[in-house]
Chains A and B, each alone.
Chain A
Amino acid sequence: MIEFQAVTKRYDDGTVAVDHLDLTIDDGRITVLVGPSGCGKTTSLRMINRMVEATSGTILVDGEDIRSQPAAALRRGIGYVIQNAGLFPHRTVLDNVATVPMLLGTKKAVARKRAEELLATVGLPPELARRYPSQLSGGQQQRVGVARALAADPPVLLMDEPFSAVDPIVRDDLQDELLRLQSELGKTIVFVTHDIDEAIKLGDRVAVLRVGGKLAQYASPAELLANPVDDFVASFVGRDRGYRALGFLSAHGVEVNPVPTVAVGTPVADARERLEGGWAAVVDDAGRPLGWVSEVVLSTLDKAVTATDVVSGGSLYPVDTGGRAGSLRAALDAALSSPAALGVAVDGDGAVVGAVTAESVLKALADARRAGEVPS
C-alpha cells in the first residue's frame, strides 16, 4: 500500500505542483493519476521514488517512510517506466532488461537468463535480445521498458505516460498487454496519463487531479463516469460519458434473438429465401460472421454468395467472454454499427449465436435501473 499524507510540492519559484495530497493506493491494483497539464500528476508519481522530493508531508510504502533509506536503494525496489522508454542506446535489449538485477549484484549470466524470460513475458521474440534500442519500433521499445522495470520483480511499478508517444493502434495493444500482464503478476501499479480513456480502460481506481495539484475525485472508473463530483470532473471525463459508462454494465439481461444466416457458397436463390427484413448475416464454415447480404447485394451476384461480396459488418458483441457476458456498450455498439441494425452476438469461439437490437439493449438498461443495478 502506498499512502500520501498531506503531501505538498512547492518549487523554488513558488509554483505549487501538488497541494496537500492525501491518497491511498491499493496493493495489487492499477491506480491511475489523470488530469490536465499542470495538475501535478507526474510530480506526484515521481515523489514516490524520490525523483522529486516532497516539500512537506509523508509518503509511506507498506507503512515505511520512503525517506528511511537512501534514494538509490529505494528506487532499485520500485519499477519505473517512462514515456519513450528511455532505453540505454549503448546496451543491447537483453542488457537493458538486466540492468537493475546487475545493480543489485546478480551475476551477469543469471541476470541475462532472467531478462530472456521477461522478453517472452512482455511478448517480444527472443531474436530481439541482441538488438540495440535504435533498431526497434516505438512499441517494441516500450515493451522492453516494461520488461526492464519488471526485471528485479519489484512489488510496485510506476508508469509515467508510458504509452503516449506511440500510435493509437500500438497503444491499444500495449494497454491490452499491460492488463494481461497485470492479471498474471498482480503488481501495485501507479499509472500517469492525460488520456481519460486510457485511465478508464486501465484503472481499477482513478484519481482525477485539477490544475494546482488538488485531488478532485478518487473513484472507480464506473463511479467516475456515473457520478462525477463536479463540473470539472464531468467535463474532463468527457461528453460521451453516459455511453462509455455502459462499458461497465453487464449485458446479461439483453435478449439475444435468432438471426438469419447464410453460409459462404450458398446459391443466390436459396440465400434470397433466407433474408429477413431485407438482410442476412454471412458466415464461414465455422459459423463466424463475415458480413451481411441484402436484396441489393444478391441482385449483383450470379451464382453463389462469396466471402468478398458482402457488406462489411459492424462491431461484434461477445455473449460470453470467459464466463461473463459482454458489456452493454459492446451490445449497443454492435447494434448501432450494423448495416442491418442487428448487432451480431458471438460466442467464445467467435461463432454467430444470434443478434441484439438497440431497443433490447435500452430495455435491459431500463430493467437494470429499476432493479437498482445501475449506480446513480
Chain B
Amino acid sequence: MNVFESVYEWLTNPDNWKTTLGIVGIPQRLAEHLDYSWPPVLIAVLLAIPLGALIGHTGRGGGVVVSAVNVFRALPELGLLVLLVLSMGLLLATSALTIVLVAVATPTVLAGTYAGVRNVDRAVVDAARGMGMREWEILLKVELPNALPLILGSLRAAALQVISTASIAAVVALGGLGRFVVDGFAFREYDQMAGGAVLIAVLAIAVELVLSGVQWLVVSPGLRKKNARGRSRVR
C-alpha cells in the first residue's frame, strides 16, 4: 500500500471522524484549529490596520515599520511558543499560542496596510485635499478604499500563515489539526501524520477561497485588475 492510498484510507475511515472514548476525531480538531486561528487574525487586524493607515497617511515612521516587520518575520515561532509556555505555565498555553500567532500575523497586515495607503496615487490624494476633504476624510474615503486590494491581500497572507503556524499548538499539549501530525510522528503512524498535513493544507486553501470571495465583493470594481483587452471588468 503506497502512501497516497494509506492517507486516503486514513482520511476516509469513519472512525477518524468520530470523537469517542477520549479519541478526538477530525471535526473537533478542525474546530479547535479554527478556534486558535481566528482571534489572532482579528487582533492583528485591529492593531495593524489603524497603525498602518496612520503611518501610511502621514508618511512618518515608514522606516520603523519596514525594520519591525523584518525583525518579526525572523522570529522562530516554535521557540517563542515554548519559551512563553515555560514562563507563563501550561495552564496559559492557549494565551501563549495566541501571542505567538498575533506576532506572526501583525507584521504582514501592517506592511500591507502601510504599502496600500502609501501607494495611492499622490495626484488623487492631492485632488481630494484640494477639494476640501479633511485629513480623516481623505484617509477614510479615498486612501483606505483604494488601499483595500493590498490590505485584503495581506490579510489573506496573514490568515494562511496563522493557520499553518497554529499546527505548533500540538507541541505544547494543545489540540488542533497539528495534533495528527505530532502524534503521527511520535507513534510512527505516517498515514495519520500525512493525513493531518493534508487537512491543514485543505483548510488553508478553503480560507483563502472564502477571503478571495470577500475581497471580490468589497473592493470597488474600478480597482479590479485590467483584463487582456486593457479595460477593467465591471459587473
A: residues with CB less than 8 A from B are 49, 51, 72-77, 80, 82-92, 99-100, 103, 131-135, 145, 148-149, 158
Complex interface bits, B179-206 against A, C-beta within 8 A gives 1, otherwise 0: 0000000000000000000000000000
Chain B residues with CB under 8 A of A133: 222
Given contacts A91-B222, A135-B234, are A76 and B132 in contact (CB under 8 A)? yes
Give the residues in chain B near A145, CB-CB below 8 Å: 127
Interface residues of B in 194-226 (CB under 8 A from A): 220-223, 226
| Nearest CB of chain B from residue A197's CB, rounded to whole Å | 25
A89 to B129, CA, bound (A): 15
Q: Measured between alpha carbons, how far is A86 from B124 in the docked complex, in Å? A: 4
- A72 in contact with B231 given A132-B222, A134-B226 (CB within 8 Å): no
Establish whether residues B132 and A51, one from each chain, have CB atoms under 8 Å apart when the complex forms. no
Q: What is the CA–CA distance of A145 and B121 in the complex, to the nearest angstrom?
A: 15
A contact residues around B130 at 8 Å (CB) = 49, 51, 75, 80, 82, 158
> Is A134 in contact with B222, judged by CB distance below 8 angstroms?
yes
Interface assignment of B80: CB less than 8 Å from any CB of chain A:
no
Tell whether, in the assembled complex, residue A103 and residue B232 are in contact, meaning their CB atoms are under 8 Å apart.
no
Tell me if B62 is interfacial: C-beta within 8 Å of chain A: no
| Contacting pair A89 B146 (CB below 8 A) | yes
In the complex, number of A-B residue pairs with CB atoms less than 8 Å apart:
80
Asked if B123 is at the interface (CB within 8 A of a chain A CB), the reply is: yes
Interchain CB contact under 8 A, B223 and A83? no
How many B residues touch A, CB cutoff 8 Å? 25
Q: Do B133 and A72 have beta carbons less than 8 Å apart?
A: yes
Chain A residues lying within 8 Å of B126, measured Cβ to Cβ, are: 51, 82, 86
Minimal beta-carbon separation of B136 from chain A (angstroms) = 11
A91 touches B220 (CB 8 A): yes
Query: How far apart are the CA atoms of A89 and B134 in the complex, in Å?
Result: 19
Q: Is the CB of B220 within 8 A of A135?
A: no
Binding site for A on B (CB under 8 A): 121, 123-124, 126-134, 137, 142, 145-146, 148, 220-223, 226, 231-232, 234
B145 surroundings in chain A (CB, below 8 A):
90
Complex Cα spacing A86 to B126, Å: 8
Q: Are B128 and A88 in contact (CB under 8 A)?
A: yes
B231 touches A135 (CB 8 A): yes
Are B131 and A103 closer than 8 Å at their CB atoms?
Answer: yes
Kindly list chain B residues whose C-beta atoms are within 8 Å of the C-beta of A85: 127
Contact check, B132 vs A87: say whether CB atoms are below 8 A apart.
no
Complex: A86 Cα to B131 Cα, angstroms: 11
Instruction: Report if A86-B221 is in contact (Cβ < 8 Å); known contacts: A103-B133, A131-B234, A134-B226.
Output: no
Q: How far is the CB of A50 from chain B (nearest CB, A)?
A: 10
Counting from the closest, the 9 A-B pairs by CB-CB distance are A132-B222, A86-B127, A76-B132, A75-B132, A90-B220, A80-B130, A86-B123, A90-B145, A72-B132
Given A72-B133, A103-B137, A134-B232; A89-B127 close (CB under 8 Å): no
> Contact between A75 and B131 (Cβ–Cβ < 8 Å)?
yes
Extra inter-chain contacts (17) besides given A89-B146, A91-B222, CB under 8 Å? A76-B131, A76-B132, A77-B132, A80-B127, A80-B130, A80-B131, A82-B123, A82-B127, A83-B123, A84-B123, A89-B121, A90-B142, A92-B222, A103-B137, A133-B222, A134-B226, A134-B232
Could you tell me the distance between the alpha carbons of A149 and B127 in the complex, rounded to whole angstroms? Answer: 10
| Docked pose: A49 CA to B130 CA in angstroms | 7
- Give A370 to B231 CA distance when docked, in angstroms: 61
